[in-house]
Structure 1
């Protein structure tokens, strides 16, 4: 499929998204703005199609090298070219994170990796994420190889992270328990902080935006005499808007603004005493203080939304690691790490939840033949929770043994993994993946992958007073996918179809017969459901001259098989289309994100489309002025029932980037 054919096929989606922008909104001024935006979008889509159609195939072959030549590690736990991966992996590089106009980590994941996002308001508010329709509890998040997040909520707080501290992100979409264990049902998100190399580099950025928003960050990096170093700090604040809409169903509405403040820091140090051997130390920390709307209740269950509800969250990770080449066929690596997630949230009666994770990993890569590698690893994870609601400090330990294989045999590539987890709380589990790809031509390959997964019960599922059940079983899933990847020069396209079936789904059990939950419980956690997620993901990118085009389209059918209903908050479709024109001195760009209607508790959430614009001007070699307009048409976005996102927001900033002092 040529890029022009791919974009031509997407024209109805662009047109429908543009039409949705013109739908009346609850804001009186939106309709006029949306009509103007619709015309601009139509012109943009037609111009993109004409530009692609005018580029001959010969010109594509002379373009810059394909982005698929870049290296990733998440698919096999060891470095491999992205073009060789059998798994469905997305690489979001540093340039995209810097220049793409996304304002949060979760928005970058939605635009470029196709994740669906739920958020209790605007930036700084609690955010959920769905990979292929699986809950946030069905995805693992790693930062520089360290598993992070809350073991009580079973998810990671992206709202506490800043794009300023991130170098690049890898997203593995699909089953990955065979490599990463519990919770890698929908996939794995691995975040990499900046690593020093070359001469001293200095970066700085400052910006101001609507809702009295401020951003500033500073970083240094480099390498000299066997040492490498990188460090960054950042601060973001915003007054925000009210997270809750008036007349919400729960009586949480408070007309005050729900703003946030976020401070982040990251550092990586390394020493190479001899070629092929590196000892490293890394640390990250973030502090989030975010206001939100809720209510305290009196003895008669009357709601009082007046207290100042805040989520004070502190996260910290520290790790020491070693990687060395012991022989031409043997490379070993080891890591010792601790992650802490400490949350104090509430109004008049705040509650504290603290998770400590200690992790030890020893991994060995053995090159057993030309194009063949075996990975053997041991992983120990200890989790401990301290919370006001728990009478004691529950903990659990997990020991895992991993074996992985990759092999190339001419046009055929194979990948397989097998993992055994033994957990003190929920017993033993064996999972695995098996996949293969076949290169039909030098530009086109077909791939297939199947995997067995499981999701561990959270500490809340196991131990929360009058809710948790210590004998609850892990969710178990089976997933299969089939994909087609095409790349030619600076152009690429892919299509992936998948099906994931989950049994023993962990959810709230109302126990209407009073037979499943202990006496006195008003329902409890239980293995109560079966789910099936089927879908397709289409991606495409093309570069001609100074123009870059990118698109991601996702279709999802997520069903509760017992109730025969759609799973809540899953859109049947989501699209993101970006266009950027960069001359080196100045650049302009636009991103359109279209999200379909979603069922939620008490009703459906309407579809919406949001257009973001951006521009920059490099007025000196190291200095650049930047501007962006988010939600140009001022769309009224309801990310979760009764919550609201930001309206139109303008940003103006300046960036300094000095390399090789």
Structure 2
């Protein structure tokens, strides 16, 4: 269907700006003769499991820092990942509704999500719940795009998302904010942080509510349609406490709890079908961790961590069933500096998982992993290699790894390459859900390779990455009972390892800062196909672009973002492309206070994130924010 003129204009603007921005630094490289790396080169953890400058990473890593999060005006964690990391989304409605995510086209269950180094998410669904998270409690987000099972084990097929909560430093600081928006939306947060006498502390709490709209559209003939509004309320609390008894040694405790109560549309089987019930997703997640990190010698740093996490969901009517998964994770990691620019990482990781609600009893499995990693610099060249062995009590052994390198062609231009093996573990649903799962299921396996080019000069940067990922033994439902264990439970089919898929594409990024102006763009092309049928994988767009432009004088700022999503195939029909325009502005009327305003989906586009579901239309927000230290 041909786009309406406003939508076509937005999409044309997004593509033209993104292409121009990505090309701009490449043209100016011819005129650049010298480059001095910034003394504030940001540090990441995700690329090697230990701290390294972002500019030295061989992997394709995106850092979404605190300033970007604070000034983005985005409505959710998922929106931030889509805008700045190229993650594609599939949501069963608007804010608060269950959200799927595709990193480099991989399935939602094929991306690892961590909070402060601890794996999170449901071990029955095989995914984390971004809809239960709040931006107000997050310090930064690191995204590793590409094969990462050699470092992080099962499910790191598309990559890894690492969310870091706020940590105390410096003098006492108090922050807070209040905002109201259309659709009866309200949000507020307060936080405190600081460090004194060897102790560091940070705590925050946020609350968000909205009346929303009907999650299901009324024009698709869905039996789930209920014209009432489907709202939500969400409460997120975090706390981090650390003690440094001596220089180079820190003991820490952290805790995070998310509570989400979101209405959604569904129906009871008839005839006739009844969609009038009050269906809700009641989700509570909790992560608690203790850790120690110490420099034992000039060449040896060790880290110990023990963490306990739960994902407790009650989904449906008031008498709905409960699905609860529990994870206990233990990690011992050692970083050895064998030379000034060379490091070896050796780690042991144990993961104990339990699930209640899938069957009458409690399901259990354990995973022991042994990790070895190497990273080194040799003049203009860099090398990274990782090897991991996972021994699982339920599905057996898996050995994965990756190897990559980069070479500086000049002081501003670097070429890099990376290849790796990955696997996606069966969930408890895949192995034990009645009339579907069984223990003959094997992990999915993948092989991925990528080639990239990074350029950076002063306040300008650009990158281009092409990748190819082949995945086999896909875990899917098959109605062919001959592929199932020969028991009556599977007379109508079961979960099976059938099919292959190829995920290939290209990612272009660019950023430029000039005076008070800051511009950033991402362009993603994706060809995700079923190798046996040749059909595109559902809910993946062939292209997605985003452009953000901001002007900041220090006293006031204004910005706009355009995100363009291409057409997608879905199970019941095709989904048209659409473009979202978000506007934002702030005014710092006192050193510690600023007024904030934003308009999401300013062009009021009709958004259908999944077939027969709908997102919000135009939504204006106004709020005020306080920061004791000033902005």
Shorter-chain TM-score above 0.5: yes
1:614 to 567, 577, 584: 584
2:455 to 482, 486, 496: 486
Per-residue CA distance 1:69-112 (angstroms, 9 max, x = gap): 20000010000000000000000001111101111000000000
Alpha-carbon separation, structure 2, partners of 1:453 and 1:411? 29
Please tell me whether the aligned partners of residues 594 and 626 of structure 2 are also in contact (alpha carbons under 8 angstroms). yes
| 42 and 245 in structure 1: CA distance in 2 versus 1, 3 angstrom threshold | closer
Per-residue CA distance 1:189-240 (angstroms, 9 max, x = gap): 0000000000011111110001010010000100000000000000000000
Q: Say what the alpha-carbon RMSD is for the aligned residues.
A: 2.5
Other structure's SS at 2:474 match: strand
Other structure's SS at 1:83 match: helix
2:600 maps to 1:630 = yes
| 468 and 435 in structure 1: CA distance in 2 versus 1, 3 angstrom threshold | same
Counterpart of 1:640 in structure 2 is 610
Other structure's SS at 1:462 match: helix
Counterpart of 1:344 in structure 2 is 314
Per-residue CA distance 1:340-370 (angstroms, 9 max, x = gap): 0000110254121001000000000001112
Counterpart of 1:532 in structure 2 is 502
| 461 and 231 in structure 1: CA distance in 2 versus 1, 3 angstrom threshold | same
Other structure's SS at 1:566 match: coil
| 268 and 247 in structure 1: CA distance in 2 versus 1, 3 angstrom threshold | same
Per-residue CA distance 1:322-357 (angstroms, 9 max, x = gap): 000000000000000001000011025412100100
Counterpart of 1:142 in structure 2 is 114
2:151 maps to 1:171 = no
Counterpart of 2:158 in structure 1 is 186
Per-residue CA distance 1:285-341 (angstroms, 9 max, x = gap): 01000000001124x5x4210110000000000000000000000000000000100
Counterpart of 2:259 in structure 1 is 287
Alpha-carbon separation, structure 2, partners of 1:608 and 1:471? 42
| 40 and 202 in structure 1: CA distance in 2 versus 1, 3 angstrom threshold | farther
1:233 to 183, 205, 218: 205
Counterpart of 1:366 in structure 2 is 336
| 217 and 544 in structure 1: CA distance in 2 versus 1, 3 angstrom threshold | same
Report 1:217-256 matches (<5 A).
217-256=189-228
Per-residue CA distance 1:106-156 (angstroms, 9 max, x = gap): 000000000000100001000000000001100100000111000000000
Other structure's SS at 2:202 match: strand
Report 1:565-580 matches (<5 A).
565-580=535-550
1:405 to 374, 383, 386: 374
2:422 maps to 1:453 = yes
Please tell me whether the aligned partners of residues 66 and 491 of structure 1 are also in contact (alpha carbons under 8 angstroms). no
Alpha-carbon separation, structure 2, partners of 1:518 and 1:40? 56
| 60 and 216 in structure 1: CA distance in 2 versus 1, 3 angstrom threshold | farther
Structure 1 residue 249 displacement after superposition: 4.8
Please tell me whether the aligned partners of residues 14 and 546 of structure 2 are also in contact (alpha carbons under 8 angstroms). no
Other structure's SS at 1:304 match: coil
| 318 and 601 in structure 1: CA distance in 2 versus 1, 3 angstrom threshold | same
Report 1:550-629 matches (<5 A).
550-629=520-599
Alpha-carbon separation, structure 2, partners of 1:142 and 1:225? 30
Other structure's SS at 1:124 match: coil
Alpha-carbon separation, structure 1, partners of 2:395 and 2:313? 25
Point out 4+ residue stretches in structure 1 off by more than 4 angstroms: 37-46, 55-68, 512-517
| 380 and 556 in structure 1: CA distance in 2 versus 1, 3 angstrom threshold | same
| 630 and 65 in structure 1: CA distance in 2 versus 1, 3 angstrom threshold | farther
Per-residue CA distance 1:556-603 (angstroms, 9 max, x = gap): 000100111111111000000010000001111000000000000121
Alpha-carbon separation, structure 2, partners of 1:82 and 1:523? 47
| 44 and 548 in structure 1: CA distance in 2 versus 1, 3 angstrom threshold | farther
Structure 1 residue 520 displacement after superposition: 3.4
Counterpart of 2:65 in structure 1 is 93
| 204 and 516 in structure 1: CA distance in 2 versus 1, 3 angstrom threshold | same
Alpha-carbon separation, structure 2, partners of 1:43 and 1:88? 22
1:434 to 383, 403, 408: 403
Q: TM-score, normalised by structure 1?
A: 0.91
Alignment: residue pair count: 628
Structure 1 residue 531 displacement after superposition: 0.5
Please tell me whether the aligned partners of residues 75 and 89 of structure 1 are also in contact (alpha carbons under 8 angstroms). yes
Alpha-carbon separation, structure 2, partners of 1:95 and 1:39? 27
Please tell me whether the aligned partners of residues 567 and 599 of structure 1 are also in contact (alpha carbons under 8 angstroms). yes
| 509 and 449 in structure 1: CA distance in 2 versus 1, 3 angstrom threshold | same
